[in-house]
């Protein structure tokens, strides 16, 4: 399969269009800013192709400024979930039997629409969850990549329908992967288009139908993806969208007896609960990505400037709110003080503030509770270790948003809460080690196993790291991100241990096979 990542920023800068890149993004931000000034837009539920409004709602307030209402979304009920599941179940019969080329053609057209409207979508992401232009546009790129890559996988594998070797001369056998039915798709706030699009597309392109619950802190993007798919020709009932609270909408969706599978990105606690709920009359599949506590290891032979760039970017881009964010660094004692000093200087040079501005490195955290968690964790760090920089809220003139400073902490004891738990905040804990073996022992001594990185010019150290680290996505000497930055088609994004439930990563053909079950057919 021939596949190329979209990579808008890289390509436009390469082609001498850096200014055009800024102008197109800023033009869409200006349009959306004017639209939001006219008053909140009411968004509907989508059930069986019908847009349903006229009920109680909640306001989606931008983390940039809580006075900005991105939209008003319905508080869905258990009855709405039931209606959505019923619609998806009715649509499944025709959709699962639709001609493969027809089905793939819809998603190809949807990817083309997203490509044409990428800057509009990026502006919506900025307002919805606070990403700066580079992070927002990269997310749109990733969403397009997921759709095109999964379409390519289905074509390359003939819809996962293949002849198998003959056991007897007078028999012909075939292996066919068939869709399960109705999938519940539970979306995250941090990648509300890319990760959500990957999950939704993975389910639908393989012939399933879906009921989607967007994340309440950032519910806009799954709805916009539905709108694009509808324009591309998606039949009614194949994708249904129900917004609302976790207790009412999420609770009913995860308990519904007609759900044939769950796909989820979020916390370990919710993921484990889904796995427990999947054990019914017969088990249903759960594809869960449940976060990380991602380490970087730095050895004496490392290029320290490269290490500093990679660690700082992975720790503090999008204010640490990535499943793959670097939250721990284990640094050899020979270079510890030097590296910490360099990290602090680089971190203090990063501009945090209004993500709509071109010179902003990172914007706000998602909501007020995240700020409260940040303050609590900083208090722990001051009590039990040393805070080298950050550790405070940031005031942005004219904005009432959720801004906190990137923070570096050292000197915590080995079993400290901040070293063991996912924080989802711009807090990096740096620890001193005497050897690579000690670094990996400590790096592996957590429940999670999503991403990890090493900086070393010793080939034997890199090989030892790859052979012994307990993480699904691993990097060596990566300046663009110690633990972040997986690209569709290049790095399968797979969580080990409590970071994932299946051992198969997104952005691969193997990921798609999880949405189907095997059917052996033999004719004599």
Residue 496 belongs to a domain: no
CA dihedral 311, 316, 318, 321 (to 10 degrees): 90
CB 169 within 8 A of CB 522: no
Which residue shows structure tokens 């329908």? Answer: 161
387 phi and psi angles, rounded to 5 deg = -95, 115
What pLDDT score was predicted for residue 484?
98
**Could you tell me the CA-to-CA distances from 263 to 251, 266, 287, 422, 511 in Å, in that order?**
15, 10, 5, 20, 11
180-191 per-position pLDDT tens digit: 999 999 999 999
Mean pLDDT, rounded, for 358-366: 98
Residue 35 belongs to a domain: no
Which residue shows structure tokens 């930055």? Answer: 485
Residue 99 belongs to a domain: yes
- For residues 449 and 335, state if they share a domain: yes
- For residues 448 and 320, state if they share a domain: yes
Mean pLDDT, rounded, for 378-400: 98
13-67 per-position pLDDT tens digit: 999 999 999 999 999 999 999 999 999 999 999 999 999 986 799 999 999 999 9
78-109 per-position pLDDT tens digit: 999 999 999 999 999 999 999 999 999 999 99
**Could you tell me the CA-to-CA distances from 171 to 68, 450, 521 in Å, in that order?**
66, 45, 10
Mean pLDDT, rounded, for 150-166: 95
CA dihedral 499, 500, 501, 502 (to 10 degrees): -150
CA distance 166 to 173: 6
Any idea what the CATH number is for the domain that residue 185 is in?
Answer: 3.40.605.10
| Angle (deg, nearest 10), helices 194-205 and 100-116 | 160
Residue (of 5, 36, 42) closest to 194 by Cα position: 5
Which residue shows structure tokens 């993480």? Answer: 471
Report the number of distinct structural domains present in the chain.
2
- For residues 272 and 331, state if they share a domain: no
What pLDDT score was predicted for residue 403?
99
- Indicate yes or no: pTM above 0.95: yes
What pLDDT score was predicted for residue 277?
85
CB 154 within 8 A of CB 512: yes
The residues annotated as belonging to the active site are 289, 323
CB 241 within 8 A of CB 216: no
- For residues 222 and 321, state if they share a domain: no
Query: What average pLDDT is seen over the chain?
Result: 97
Question: Is the model's pLDDT at 281 over the cut of 90?
Answer: no
- For residues 282 and 322, state if they share a domain: no
CB within 8 Å of 150: residues ≥ 6 apart: 107, 198, 201, 202, 205, 512
* Model confidence band, residue 495 (pLDDT cutoffs 50, 70, 90): very high
* Model confidence band, residue 204 (pLDDT cutoffs 50, 70, 90): very high
Token output for 223: 């709805």
- For residues 428 and 446, state if they share a domain: yes
- For residues 462 and 483, state if they share a domain: yes
**Could you tell me the CA-to-CA distances from 138 to 130, 141, 287, 326 in Å, in that order?**
14, 5, 24, 19
Residue 34 belongs to a domain: no
Q: Where are the alpha helices (DSSP H) in 278-326?
A: 304-316
224-275 per-position pLDDT tens digit: 999 999 999 999 999 999 999 888 899 999 999 999 999 999 999 999 999 9
- For residues 230 and 367, state if they share a domain: no
CA distance 418 to 392: 17
Residue 23 belongs to a domain: no
DSSP 81-146: HHHHHHHHHHHHHHHHTS-HHHHHHHHHHHHHHHHHTHHHHHHHHHHHH---HHHHHHHHHHHHHH
CB 29 within 8 A of CB 123: yes
Q: Kindly state the helix (H) or strand (E) to which residue 407 belongs, with its residue range.
A: strand 407-410
Q: Where are the alpha helices (DSSP H) in 206-267?
A: 220-232, 251-255
Residue 19 belongs to a domain: no
What pLDDT score was predicted for residue 149?
98
- For residues 327 and 400, state if they share a domain: yes
330-348 per-position pLDDT tens digit: 999 999 999 999 999 999 9
Residue 122 belongs to a domain: no
- Which residue range forms the structural domain that includes residue 158? 42-57+68-111+147-290+501-523
Token output for 490: 């290049």
Q: Kindly state the helix (H) or strand (E) to which residue 295 belongs, with its residue range.
A: strand 294-298
Q: What is the number of alpha carbons within 13 Å of residue 327 lying toward its C-beta? A: 28
- For residues 428 and 375, state if they share a domain: yes
62-401-69 Cα angle (round to 5): 25
CA distance 424 to 366: 10
Give the 3-state secondary structure of residue 296: strand
Expressed in percent and rounded to 5, the helix, strand and coil fractions of the chain are 45, 20, 35
CA distance 332 to 314: 19
Token output for 306: 């490269």
Considering the chain, what percentage of its residues have pLDDT values greater than 90?
Answer: 96
- For residues 319 and 279, state if they share a domain: no
- For residues 483 and 505, state if they share a domain: no
Mean pLDDT, rounded, for 274-286: 88
Residue 2 belongs to a domain: no
CB burial readout 393-422, b (16+ within 10 A) else e: eeebeebebbbbbbbbbbebeeebebbebb
Considering the chain, what percentage of its residues have pLDDT values greater than 70?
Answer: 100
Any idea what the CATH number is for the domain that residue 357 is in?
Answer: 3.40.309.10
């Amino acid at each position: 399969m021939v596949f190329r990542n979209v990579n808008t920023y890289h390509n436009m800068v390469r082609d001498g269009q850096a200014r055009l890149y800024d102008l197109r993004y800023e033009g869409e931000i200006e349009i959306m800013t004017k639209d939001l000034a006219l008053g909140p837009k009411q968004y509907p539920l989508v059930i069986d192709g019908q847009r349903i409004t006229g009920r109680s709602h909640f306001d989606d307030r931008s983390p940039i400024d809580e006075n900005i209402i991105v939209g008003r979304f319905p508080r869905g009920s258990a009855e709405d979930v039931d209606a959505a599941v019923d619609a998806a179940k009715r649509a499944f019969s025709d959709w699962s039997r639709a001609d493969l080329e027809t089905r793939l053609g819809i998603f190809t057209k949807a990817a083309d629409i997203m490509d044409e409207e990428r800057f509009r979508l990026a502006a919506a992401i900025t307002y919805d969850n606070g990403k700066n232009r580079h992070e927002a546009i990269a997310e749109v790129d990733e969403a397009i990549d997921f759709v095109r890559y999964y379409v390519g996988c289905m074509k390359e594998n003939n819809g996962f329908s293949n002849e198998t070797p003959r056991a007897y001369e007078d028999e012909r056998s075939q292996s066919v992967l068939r869709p399960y039915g109705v999938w519940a798709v539970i979306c995250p706030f941090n990648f509300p288009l890319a990760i959500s699009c990957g999950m939704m597309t993975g389910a639908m392109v393989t012939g399933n139908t879906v009921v989607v619950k967007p994340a309440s802190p950032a519910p806009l993007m799954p709805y916009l993806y539905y709108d694009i798919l509808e324009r591309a020709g998606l039949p009614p009932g194949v994708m249904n969208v129900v917004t609302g609270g976790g207790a009412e909408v999420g609770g009913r969706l995860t308990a519904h007896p007609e759900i044939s599978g769950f796909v989820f990105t979020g916390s370990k606690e919710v993921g484990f609960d889904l796995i427990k709920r999947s054990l019914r009359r017969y088990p249903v599949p759960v594809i869960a990505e449940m976060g990380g506590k991602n380490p970087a290891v730095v050895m004496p032979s490392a290029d320290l400037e490269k290490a500093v760039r990679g660690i700082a970017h992975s720790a503090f881009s999008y204010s640490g709110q990535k499943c793959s964010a670097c939250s721990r660094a284990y640094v050899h004692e020979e270079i510890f003080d030097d590296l910490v000093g360099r990290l602090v200087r680089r971190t203090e040079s990063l501009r945090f503030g209004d993500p709509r501005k071109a010179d902003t490195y990172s914007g706000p955290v998602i909501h007020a509770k995240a700020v409260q968690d940040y303050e609590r964790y900083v208090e722990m760090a001051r009590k039990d270790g040393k805070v080298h920089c950050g550790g405070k809220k940031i005031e942005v003139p004219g904005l009432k948003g959720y801004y906190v400073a990137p923070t570096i902490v050292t000197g915590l004891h080995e079993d400290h809460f901040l070293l063991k738990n996912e924080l989802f905040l711009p807090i990096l804990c740096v620890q001193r080690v005497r050897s690579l073996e000690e670094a990996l022992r400590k790096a592996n001594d957590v429940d999670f196993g999503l991403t990890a990185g090493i900086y070393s010019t010793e080939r034997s150290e890199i090989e030892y790291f790859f052979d012994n680290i307990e993480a699904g996505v691993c990097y060596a000497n990566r300046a663009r991100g110690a633990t972040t930055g997986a690209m569709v088609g290049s790095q399968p994004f797979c969580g080990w241990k409590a970071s994932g439930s299946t051992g198969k990563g997104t952005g691969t053909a193997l990921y798609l096979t999880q949405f189907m079950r095997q059917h052996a057919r033999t004719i004599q």
